[in-house]
């Protein structure tokens, strides 16, 4: 698909605030490549650090990792994949733990947080888990698995409302984060975002530009920006930003998971343009590359010709002037022959 100009087809498209499309992760964030143990360890009490399968009564789900991501089978009663690092670290507040979401190839995996509402309480620590009602909308309502404070189990409310109640008195303690997959569903999870970090289960996609730059006056060179590593026929959001333009546009990956964007010549002012290819659901599975527009190269003026000595002042070398003239003519003709031969060879050279 060709992008004829950086603004083509995206007039009026609002940029997503805080999105990975144009700025990648925050400066303090990290992308953490994850290898989940096989088999996935079972839940312990207290939670252990690292990844484990949350306890579900009579649960027969499973999780298997490959280059495509972590394939989670919900089984009869659903499946929980959790990470107990928050309980081990103990320094992330519930308000900061809403995460960046979940990237899946297909199906729904619900982002999930496990908390103690009153961690210092001698008897009732108000344990519950929170997850969004819509797995693709962390800004919508969330539900709780168990009752706490004045909130009954299964209450749908904005996350901020749950956090306010759980943080009453003593701040709630975040125990774990992860995902829940419903019974009967099979989902491939590629990434989970938490506390601004990106936990990557799949092989990251890649992106390249060819050529990597053009001069500002160029209007004819075809530039291709290619990304690979997405799912076949997946909707991929292409974000671009630079000195003179920015925006987003949807593309569809081909049957091999590749996306190609092309345009002719310099797309704008001199400077760097960042292209980001991202899954359309979460923005956590992404690749970036940079394309540059440069100033035209300054061509140095030709050096002045070296003055020649007039023929009348040449010293007598004993060489017949006519013979010298003939010899010079032969050299000139030979040189022309080389040039013509070279041009012919170039003209018939295979492409």
The whole-number pLDDT of residue 25 equals 41
Mean pLDDT of 49-76: 92
- Name the one residue in this structure whose structure tokens are 């709780």: 144
Q: Locate the domains of the chain by residue range.
A: 35-200, 206-294
Give the other-Cβ count within 10 Å of 311's Cβ: 7
44: Cβ contacts below 8 Å, ≥ 6 apart: 52
pLDDT band at 107 (very low <50, low <70, confident <90, very high): confident
Under DSSP, the state recorded for 321 is H
The whole-number pLDDT of residue 126 equals 81
Average pLDDT over the chain reads: 79
pLDDT exceeds cutoff 50 at 315: no
- CA 132, CA 140: separation in Å to the nearest integer? 7
Q: Indicate the Cα dihedral angle 312, 317, 320, 326, nearest 10°.
A: -80
Q: Which one is the CATH code of 206-294: 3.30.450.20, 3.40.50.300, 3.30.2270.10, 2.60.40.230? A: 2.60.40.230
Tell me the two tokens of residue 315.
Answer: 């010293």
Cβ–Cβ < 8 Å for 205, 69: no
Residue 208: phi and psi, rounded to 5, are -140, 155
Mean pLDDT of 327-339: 34
Closest CA to 283 of 107, 72, 97, 104: 104
- CA 61, CA 165: separation in Å to the nearest integer? 33
Residue 231: phi and psi, rounded to 5, are -75, 150
Each residue's pLDDT tens digit, 166-191:
888 788 888 999 999 999 999 999 99
Alpha carbon 205 to chain centroid distance?
Answer: 7
pLDDT exceeds cutoff 60 at 11: no
- CA 250, CA 239: separation in Å to the nearest integer? 9
> pTM value?
0.74
């Amino acid at each position: 698909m060709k992008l004829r100009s950086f603004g083509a087809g995206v007039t009026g498209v609002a940029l997503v605030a805080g999105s990975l499309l144009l700025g990648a992760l925050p400066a303090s964030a990290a992308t953490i490549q994850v290898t989940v143990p096989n088999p996935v360890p079972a839940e312990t009490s207290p939670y252990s650090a690292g990844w484990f399968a949350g306890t579900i009564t009579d649960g027969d789900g499973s999780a298997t990792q490959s280059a495509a991501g972590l394939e989670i089978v919900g089984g009869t009663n659903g499946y929980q994949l959790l990470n107990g690092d928050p309980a081990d670290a103990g320094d992330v507040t519930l308000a900061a733990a809403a995460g960046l979401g979940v990237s899946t190839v297909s199906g729904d995996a619900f982002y999930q947080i496990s908390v103690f509402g009153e961690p210092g309480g001698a008897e009732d620590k108000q344990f519950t888990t929170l997850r969004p009602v819509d797995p693709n909308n962390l800004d919508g309502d969330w539900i709780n698995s168990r009752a706490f404070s004045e909130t009954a189990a299964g209450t749908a409310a904005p996350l901020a409302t749950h956090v306010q109640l759980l943080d009453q008195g003593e701040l709630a303690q975040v125990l774990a984060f992860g995902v829940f997959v419903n019974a009967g569903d099979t989902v491939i999870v590629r990434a989970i975002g938490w506390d601004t970090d990106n936990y990557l289960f799949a092989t990251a996609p890649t992106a390249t530009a060819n050529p990597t730059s053009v001069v500002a006056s160029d209007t004819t060179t075809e530039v291709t920006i290619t990304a690979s590593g997405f799912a076949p026929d997946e909707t991929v959001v292409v974000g671009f930003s630079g000195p003179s333009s920015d925006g987003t546009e949807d593309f569809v990956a081909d049957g091999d998971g590749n996306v190609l964007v092309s345009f002719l010549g310099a797309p704008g002012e001199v400077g760097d343009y960042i292209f980001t290819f991202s899954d359309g659901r979460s923005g956590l599975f992404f690749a970036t590359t940079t394309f540059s527009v440069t100033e035209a190269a300054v061509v140095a003026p030709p050096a002045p010709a070296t003055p020649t000595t007039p023929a009348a002042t040449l010293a007598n070398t004993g060489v017949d002037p006519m013979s010298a003239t003939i010899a010079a003519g032969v050299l000139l003709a030979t040189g022309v022959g080389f040039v013509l031969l070279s041009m012919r060879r170039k003209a018939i050279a295979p492409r």
